[in-house]
């Protein structure tokens, strides 16, 4: 991801924290060695192709405020009310985040008034009639083994002023929002409306995208689990492909605009011969197109495995009228079924009898519980979100850089997207592992 040097990385606060943190007794730290000062920074990168260009730009190397517990907090835990909300598509690890936030608030800070908002932003709107859920240790202790979200979710925008009205009526001090780019945009709008009203409500975002494509977020929760499950699909496709003469395994994976799951899955399970992602153009026809390359592969090895990200190859659907979902996302055309039909017809016309097996594990991947690595990651994300909120920080999301958790200003990330660099190490690794070459005629 290309990152400009002049990003404003300052995180807003509601005021000066003046209350001694109860975390001091929890961590048994009389000398405050485990508390993080606001002056501690984390460099975004320790590598520069040409550091002189950074110096010439007039900016210091980009860094973010380190996350972690502060010695002084803004909110009085005995009077504080917190709310949690999950929005958008499902993703492994959401329940882990919820549990971590609740446990950190309850046991770390002594907060007793914690509310779960049902069904996304709809839960704030009275007309929908969704109930709030009282959250405590007993309500979340066993949710790690469950996929999805115990709070449910929904898509689509809601009236920002009504949402703030609801927060004000509930006397909420910290709002934790777990969601993707659309949710984080809503969080930014909510935070701006709160500031406009002069309210002391902190808004903390935990970025959620199974595609791992949120700008300035090096890793998103659920991605590790998604890659692990996707590799199982690849193994199955490979087993099917080698079991028949001219067998083809075709797997469609998530990745609307960024092909990180497809790329990492192919590298983790190196039985893949072709990887198709939104960032790398490819042709079907012609001497260097996919169909001819696939024919050559079958001729030499008698089997092939293809992984395609859902957002790849949208150019093949022409100028058909675009449709949008409730969240304003463009509804993608089904590249998986399209390729299945095109490949089948191509070899039928050549009187080559292929054995095609098509696998789409997308919803199975989205709904499974997080794996061990993601659970560890989620537990940290939840705690760091609580520490930030209790310190009175707002309009931020929790990110991860150079093995450190950091505070990212929402405005620096929202509305932008991270993508696979087709001239970078990751894509080069795919080309070396598959040998597919450039699948274009130009």
What does the buried/exposed string (b/e) look like for 72-100 if buried means 16 or more CB atoms within 10 Å of the residue's CB? ebbbebeebbbbbbbbbbbbbbbbbbbbb
211 a catalytic residue: yes
Yes or no: say if 89 and 326 are a contact pair by the CB < 8 Å rule: no
d(CA 129, CA 126): 5
Half-sphere exposure of 231 toward its Cβ, with a 13 Å CA cutoff? 13
Query: Considering 211, 224, 246, 360, which one is annotated as catalytic?
Result: 211
For residue 157, give every residue at least 6 positions away whose Cβ sits within 8 Å of its Cβ, in sequence order, or none: 121, 182, 186, 327, 328
- Supply 266's token pair: 């192919």
- Supply 283's token pair: 């042709």
Strand 404-409 and strand 63-66: the pairing is antiparallel
E strand spans, 350-434 = 355-359, 396-401, 404-409
Q: The tokens 């957002």 sit on which residue? A: 311
The neighbour count for residue 442, using CB atoms within 10 Å, is 7
- Supply 116's token pair: 């779960």
d(CA 238, CA 296): 18
The neighbour count for residue 360, using CB atoms within 10 Å, is 19
Residues noted as catalytic? 211
């Amino acid at each position: 991801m290309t990152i400009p040097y002049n990003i404003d990385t300052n995180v807003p606060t509601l005021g000066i924290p003046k209350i001694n943190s109860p975390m001091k007794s929890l961590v048994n730290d009389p000398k405050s060695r485990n508390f993080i000062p606001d002056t501690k920074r984390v460099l975004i990168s320790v590598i520069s192709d040409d550091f002189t260009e950074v110096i010439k730009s007039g900016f210091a190397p980009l860094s973010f405020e380190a996350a972690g517990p502060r010695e002084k907090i803004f909110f009085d835990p005995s009077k504080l009310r917190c709310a949690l909300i999950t929005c958008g598509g499902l993703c492994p690890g959401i329940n882990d985040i919820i549990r971590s936030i609740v446990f950190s608030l309850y046991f770390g800070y002594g907060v007793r008034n914690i509310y779960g908002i049902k069904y996304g932003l709809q839960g704030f709107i009275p007309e929908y009639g969704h109930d709030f859920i009282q959250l405590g240790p007993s309500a979340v202790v066993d949710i790690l083994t469950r996929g999805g979200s115990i709070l449910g979710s929904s898509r689509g925008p809601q009236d920002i002023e009504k949402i703030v009205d609801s927060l004000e009526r509930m006397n909420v001090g910290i709002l934790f929002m777990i969601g993707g780019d659309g949710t984080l945009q809503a969080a930014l709008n909510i935070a701006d409306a709160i500031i406009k009203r002069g309210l002391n409500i902190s808004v903390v975002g935990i970025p959620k995208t199974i595609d791992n494509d949120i700008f300035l977020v090096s890793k998103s929760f659920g991605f590790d689990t998604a890659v692990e499950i996707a590799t199982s699909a690849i193994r199955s496709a490979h087993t099917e492909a080698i079991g028949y003469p001219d067998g083809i395994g075709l797997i469609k994976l998530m990745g609307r605009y960024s092909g990180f799951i497809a790329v990492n899955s192919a590298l983790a399970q190196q039985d893949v011969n072709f990887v198709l992602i939104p960032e790398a153009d490819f042709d079907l026809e012609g001497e260097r197109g996919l169909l001819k390359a696939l024919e050559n592969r079958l001729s030499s090895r008698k089997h092939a495995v293809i992984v395609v990200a859902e957002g790849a190859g949208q150019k093949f659907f022409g100028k058909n009228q675009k449709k949008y979902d409730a969240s304003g996302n463009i509804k993608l055309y089904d590249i998986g079924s399209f390729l299945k039909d095109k490949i089948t017809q191509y070899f039928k016309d050549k009187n080559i009898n292929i054995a095609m097996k098509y696998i789409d594990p997308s919803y199975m991947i989205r709904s499974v519980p997080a794996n061990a690595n993601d659970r560890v990651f989620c537990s940290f994300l939840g705690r760091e979100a609580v520490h930030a909120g209790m310190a009175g920080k707002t309009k931020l999301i929790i990110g991860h850089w150079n093995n450190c958790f950091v505070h990212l200003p929402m405005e620096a990330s929202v509305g932008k997207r991270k993508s696979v660099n087709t001239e970078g190490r990751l894509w080069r690794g795919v080309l070396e592992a598959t040998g597919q070459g450039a699948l274009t005629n130009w």
